[in-house]
A and B are shown apart, each in its own frame.
Chain A
Amino acid sequence: MRLPAVEVHNLYFRYDKEYVLEDITATIWDQEYIAIIGPNGGGKSTFVRLLLGLLQPTQGEIFLYNNPPLQARHLVGYLPQNVNFNLEIPLLAREVILQGRLGPKKFRFNAMDYKLLAQVAKELEIDTLLDKKIANLSGGERQRVLLARALITKPKLLILDEPTAAVDINAQKKIYEILKTLKMTKIVISHDINILLEGVDRVFYLNRKLFIHDNIPLKLQNNKGHFCEMELFEELKRRCDG
């Protein structure tokens, strides 16, 4: 029997008067790989921030592995959108990754944390970056370090918000190749539709309302075999509105 990883029931959210999310109901199953796409301002980041308990729903319910979001945070690995990081702090890559092992009452790292650090660094091929300052890494290297920080938590559910924003095409491919190999539930927000859609199980199109599609990659390829973001959005919007 399939186990639900994320259950969302009649979710509404608004910052002010206008609703950013309306009547969202969805289930994401354990081990599924979900892409969330949609236009800017469509509520994608708000949706994952609600899943993480960083925002509270205006109405509706969310459960992660049968727990409310705040009680399920230990099950979640998160890579936030790369916009607010303070790069003026002298921090080594290893220190950033180990932040994933922190907790409300955990102030120091132990032998197990360092063992996990070595393990995840090896998996993501960032062993040689560990003693470099985070500010000196390239965009792609930094995102792999942040992915390692999300994975060192040993999550059952991985949530990535634009993991390849401001990253060159080779680094993008590398990150999505890594994602394909990870055995856990994955939710990825991205604009890199062509690369992302190759490996996902389902696509969530979010523009205030949610439209779920099971097999978009095969149906919306153009004659060159590529997905055109605009065409895809238009098609999804049409189906969504319909």
Chain B
Amino acid sequence: MGEMLHFFANSFFAAALLSIAIGVVGSLMVINRYNYLAASIAHGSYGGVGMALYFGGSILLGATLFAVALALLLAFMTYRQQRHLDIFIGVLWAVGMSIGIIFTDLTPGYTTDLLSYLFGDILMIPNSDLWFMGVVDLLATLFLSAFYHQLLAIAYDKEFALTRNVPVALLHTLTLFLIALTIVMSIRSIGLILVIALFSIPPYIAERFAKNFWQMVLLSIPIAFSIIASGLIIAYYLDISATAIIIVLAALAFSITFLKGER
């Protein structure tokens, strides 16, 4: 057990930091029904990964800049243009990924497996990523604490929030900006494909038991951590992919909650 904990030290830190992000940003995503938007940013951000590889820059920086640019574009589009929005989101999703693939193909001598970005590897988290995750968690928590009531008012009834002169456009943009940062911080650990599932399931479960939004956020964190940590332990003993088993566990928890809710 001690050996395992030593081996997994960074992974457990990452799990804890990821869980905080899931609690705060995942819950905001769920109540705003931004899952599709977030999935578009997640997949589209692969364009930044490909460009960073081609130009020889930092992958984290490339993905961050690309994801933030996508988030700002989507914020503008969702606020200004409601028509054909789903098509626009889908196009950004596909174009971002395609740019990533093209630049990766053009990179001479590049051999790293695309799958490592699509599915992540929580066992290989460097210390620098932990710092980045810590900063994003701090920003997200400060953002939620500062604008708690206004964010809830917008999520519940945007039109009413506008009539109270709440800065809806600004907060909507900042929320998507935070989602972009959170997605980038999660790419290395859980990958582009799985990030949305992991950010949606714990808040969904927590919502069933929470009376208010703070409870939803605070309950999501231990739920997320239990799922990720259990996945890490099972992966160690069965020698299987940690990310995959984490998502299977999350889906199992989701199914049980969903079925109990339906009865």
Contact = CB atoms under 8 A, between A and B. Distances in A.
A89 B161 CA distance: 15
Contacts of B160: 78, 80, 99, 149
B143 to A, nearest CB: 12
Interface residues of A, number: 31
Contacts, number: 86
A88 B203 CA distance: 11
A89 B211 contact: no
A73 interface: yes
B163 A99 contact: no
Interface string A71-101: 0011010101000111011111001101110
A104 interface: yes
B157 interface: yes
Given A91-B213, A100-B164, A102-B164, A107 B31 contact: no
Interface in B207-230: 207, 210-213, 215-216
Given A88-B30, A88-B31, A89-B31, A99 B167 contact: no
A107 B147 contact: yes
A156 B191 CA distance: 53
Interface residues on B, range: 20 to 34
B65 interface: no
Given A90-B207, A103-B166, A54 B159 contact: yes
Closest 7 CB pairs of A and B: A99-B153, A104-B165, A90-B210, A89-B31, A102-B164, A78-B163, A80-B159
30 contacts: A53-B163, A73-B164, A73-B165, A76-B163, A86-B31, A86-B155, A86-B156, A86-B157, A88-B30, A88-B31, A88-B33, A89-B31, A89-B152, A89-B155, A89-B156, A90-B207, A90-B212, A91-B152, A95-B149, A95-B152, A99-B156, A99-B160, A99-B164, A102-B149, A102-B150, A107-B146, A107-B149, A108-B149, A109-B149, A149-B160
